[in-house]
Amino acid sequence: MTTRDVTQSGVLRAISEFDRLGRDAFLDRYGFGPATDYFLVHDGRDYDSKAIVGVAHGFDLPDKGTLSAADFSGGDATVARLLRGLGFEVRSPKRNPPWSHDELVLALDLYQRLGMPSKSHPEVVELSRILNSLPAHPERPDRGRFRNVNGVALKLANFARLDPNYQGVGMTRGAKLEVGVWDQYPATRTSCAWRRNEFATV
Residue-wise pLDDT tens digits, 82-103: 999 999 999 887 778 999 999 9
The answer to which of 26-40, 136-150, 175-189 has the lowest mean pLDDT is 175-189
Is there a single domain that holds both residue 184 and residue 128? yes
In the chain, the number of structural domains is 2
Average of per-residue pLDDT values in the chain: 88
**Residue 194: what pLDDT?**
47
Q: Are residues 50 and 113 in the same domain?
A: no
Rounded to 5 degrees, φ, ψ at 80 are -60, -45
Closest CA to 107 of 126, 92, 120, 94: 126
Q: Closest by alpha carbon to 151, among 133, 174, 128? A: 128
Domain's final residue, options 36, 64, 91: 91
Show which of 53, 70, 91 is a domain's final residue. 91
Decide: helix, strand or coil at residue 147. Answer: coil
- In this predicted model, what pLDDT tens digit does every residue of 141-165 receive, in sequence order? 778 889 999 999 999 999 998 988 8
Model confidence at 201: pLDDT above 60: no
Residue 147 domain boundaries: 101-199
Calculate what percentage of the chain has a pLDDT beyond 90: 66
Distance CA 153, CA 171 (A): 11
Same domain, 143 and 178: yes
Specify whether 80 is located in the same domain as 8: yes
pTM of the predicted protein model = 0.53
Instruction: With respect to residue 117, please indicate whether it lies within any of the assigned structural domains.
Output: yes
In terms of domains, do 70 and 30 share one? yes
CA distances from 154 to 5, 106, 182 (A): 35, 14, 15
The DSSP bridge partners found for residue 91 are 39
Instruction: Look at residues 26, 60, 91 and tell me which one is the last residue of a structural domain.
Output: 91
pLDDT of residue 188: 47
- Asked, for residue 74, whether it belongs to a domain, the answer is yes
- Residues 172 and 170: their CA atoms lie apart, in Å, by 6
